[in-house]
């Protein structure tokens, strides 16, 4: 298949590949998470991986995607920003990372709210003049960590969010 919408429920995969590459999720450039009233879940059970796959979180507050990374040592790095204004939820002990490059404002995890219910949400912009992006309302916890990394090539370390709410245990680190 070439078009995938995770409308509701969970799809579990052990392999992620780059956009437009044959993989268990098809070979489409973008995967839509949820419908106008649902949230779809992508459960990743494999090892550390990087991908250019674009995930579309939809355009309503009731739509969005859950990314469940089951293994603590696993890092899933997205080098393409998520699109849409739906809710992005991160679950499981693993890490969801963004290495999106850019010198203008961008939203690596979509423009909607982000909820971190375990593991780490890691933001590491790359490239000369790169900026840490604006983000929607962030809710983190329990056992969640939001980590924004400064590197010598980053022009500014400015993490802006509509709101930042800790729900139970959680950590916010800006290095």
Q: Is residue 29 within 8 Å of 35, Cβ to Cβ?
A: no
- Residue 141: CA atoms inside 13 Å, Cβ hemisphere, count? 10
CA 116, 42, 20, 113 torsion-angle sign: negative
pLDDT tens digit string along 102-160? 555 567 788 888 888 888 888 766 655 555 566 677 777 667 776 665 444 333 334 44
Nearest C-alpha neighbor of 45 from the set 80, 7, 78, 94: 94
Distance of CA 172 to the CA centre of its chain: 16
pLDDT tens digit string along 89-114? 999 999 998 877 655 556 778 888 88
Q: Is residue 12 within 8 Å of 45, Cβ to Cβ?
A: yes
- Structure tokens of 146? 């939001």
Q: Is residue 144 within 8 Å of 117, Cβ to Cβ?
A: yes
Contacts (Cβ under 8 Å, ≥6 apart) of 80: 19, 51, 52, 53, 54, 100
The residue count for the chain: 175
Report d(CA 13, CA 120) in Å as an integer. Answer: 20
More confident residue, 40 or 153: 40
């Amino acid at each position: 298949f070439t078009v995938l919408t995770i409308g509701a429920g969970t799809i579990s995969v052990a392999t992620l590949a780059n956009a437009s590459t044959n993989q268990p999720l098809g070979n489409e450039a973008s995967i839509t998470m949820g419908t106008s009233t649902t949230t779809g879940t992508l459960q990743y059970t494999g090892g550390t991986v990087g991908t250019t796959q674009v995930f579309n979180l939809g355009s309503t507050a009731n739509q969005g995607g859950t990314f469940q990374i089951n293994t603590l040592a696993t890092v899933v790095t997205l080098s393409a920003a998520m699109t849409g204004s739906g809710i992005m939820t991160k679950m499981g002990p693993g890490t969801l990372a963004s290495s999106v490059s850019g010198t203008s404002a961008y939203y690596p995890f979509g423009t909607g709210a982000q909820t971190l219910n375990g593991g780490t949400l890691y933001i590491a912009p790359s490239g000369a003049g790169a900026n840490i992006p604006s983000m929607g309302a962030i809710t983190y916890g329990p056992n969640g960590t939001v980590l924004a990394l400064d590197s010598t090539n980053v022009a500014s370390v400015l993490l802006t969010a509509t709101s930042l709410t800790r729900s139970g245990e959680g950590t916010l680190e800006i290095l």
